[in-house]
Amino acid sequence: MSGLSKGIRTVEIAVKWDPSPAGRPPTDLDIVAATYPKSDPHGDPAYLVHFDSRSPDGTIHLNRDSRDGVGFGWDEVMTVELYRLDPRYARVVVGVVIQQQGGRLTFGDVRAPGLRIREGYTVLAEDDFRGVPGAAAAVVAEFTRDTTGAWGFRAGVHGFEGDPEAFPRSMGAARRP
């Protein structure tokens, strides 16, 4: 990245899935974002953003929240305005969690899941969660601020097979490139 680059400024993370078959409990996927300070970029998040919440400064917010996958297009959409984040934050990690309402569900159980991450009209990443069929949650994006203040993006879907309740506390762990 050259010194003239402003890096990534605003990103949209979108998730979609098909509704559960008739007679089965609804499937509900949720996008979760965690913000980490420069002082501890792999420790506990400074704050989490998910359904029914937004960041304290309004830079991360959920635009669309579906509880069942019924609807046209993208069911969950989150916007992250990286350029507005306070300089004390150096890392934002985004994940997707499957709500566990009617027994254990994994991405292998979800009908036609999809992920799209984009900046403006530029698609940065797309995925269908096939690589993590046994996971009930997954980290889907990592954004880091460099020494010039520009934000970069690291793609990759990393499944989490533990209890989804524990996922937000573990999503900031360091990952191999």
Which pLDDT score, from 0 to 100, does residue 1 have? 41
- pTM for the full predicted model: 0.93
Superfamily in which the 10-170 domain is placed by CATH: sav2460 like domains (2.60.60.30)
**Mean pLDDT within 25-51:** 92
Kindly tell me the burial class for residue 160, based on how many C-beta atoms sit within 10 Å of its own C-beta (0-12, 13-18, 19 or more).
buried
Confidence at residue 176, expressed as pLDDT on a 0 to 100 scale: 55
Domain ranges of the chain: 10-170
In sequence order, the 6+-apart residues with CB closer than 8 A to the CB of 170 are 160, 162
> Which segments of the chain are extended strands (E)?
10-16, 29-37, 47-49, 60-64, 76-81, 89-98, 114-119, 122-127, 137-145, 151-160
Dist. CA 140–CA 107, nearest whole Å? 13
What does the pLDDT read at residue 2?
44
Tokens describing residue 172 = 């900031």
pLDDT of 175 > 80? The answer is: no
Query: Does residue 76 carry a pLDDT above 90?
Result: yes
pLDDT digits (tens, 9 = 90+) for 134-154: 999 999 999 999 999 999 999
Residue 56 reports pLDDT greater than 50: yes
